[in-house]
Amino acid sequence: MPTRPAPLTDKDFRAFADFITSKLGIKMPSGKKSMLEARLNKRLRLLGLHSYSQYRELLFSEGGQKDELPHLYDAVTTNTTHFFRESNHFDALRDNILPGLHARLGGERALRVWSAGCSTGEEPYTLAMVLDAFAQKHQKFSFDILATDISTRVLETAARAVYVMDKMEDIPQAFRKKYLLRSKDPKKRLIRIVPELRKRVSFRRLNFMEPFRLEKPRDVVFCRNVVIYFDRPTQERLFRRIAEQIVAGGYLFTGHSESLTGMDVPLQAVAPTIYRKV
């Protein structure tokens, strides 16, 4: 039976916390010590390490920076999401925003959308359903979706696009019939996004704390429930950088617990948690 590692010391916790904040921007107050200890414990057992100090030495080594960092990201990031989360955003996109953007583009190019912090893929696939349904009713409308996250583990899940059947509860019935495939084995209770939608979404790893620039600016950006883990100055810097990736007149959607009030960013509120690039 594997030996349980010694408890995480305050010294090691502070070293991990400072490192995580510097690399990910995520705040790690002392109240998160037990959470971090529990999550890192799995990595220690997998690696055959007997103490958090050993893991710290591995992580801070030259090889560890290259090989272990993605696993640390997976351990400390939270990936809570579901289809049609905060559904009023998708209603506003369909009814209030897409008609104007479609008229402005005039079919000359595809609408470019970015799901920033896409987790296991429910958000970008929800966007794909809404946009495809809009395209069915509007000639010359096309779109492409870029979905990014820092975690390679959740990106792999998102790219597979396979989910347990319980996940489809919030998906409208008409969309279930059109955009979901059910497992041939009913005992598995699995669904998969249809290939026509999967090919409209491209996935890419992106760390907000590292310099980034998208190949093409975006018309619509969903960055929801991501910056709540950052301190206020980091949030403002990130929103400025995201705004740089949005076309003039494009839109940013944030989570309902996130606000740009008082920030020096070129984004103007048009509705709660919906902003327009000025």
Is there a catalytic annotation at residue 18? no
d(C-alpha 20, C-alpha 25), whole Å: 7
Is there a catalytic annotation at residue 39? yes
Across-strand partners of 75?
A: none
Helix (H, G, I), strand (E, B) or coil at 34: helix
How many C-alpha atoms does 71 have within 13 Å on its Cβ side? 16
d(C-alpha 161, C-alpha 209), whole Å: 27
Catalytic entry in 85, 149, 200, 218 = 149
For 64-111, the three-class secondary structure string (H helix, E strand, C coil) is HHHHCHHHHHHHHCCCCCCCCCCCHHHHHHHHHHHHHHHHHHCCCCCE
CB-based contacts of 171: which residues, under 8 Å, 6+ apart? 83, 84, 126, 129, 179, 180
Catalytic entry in 39, 176, 182, 192 = 39
Helix (H, G, I), strand (E, B) or coil at 190: strand
For the record, the structure tokens of 171 come out as 């998906």
Which residue is it, tokens 């998208």?
A: 214
Helix (H, G, I), strand (E, B) or coil at 208: coil
Catalytically active residues, by annotation: 39, 149
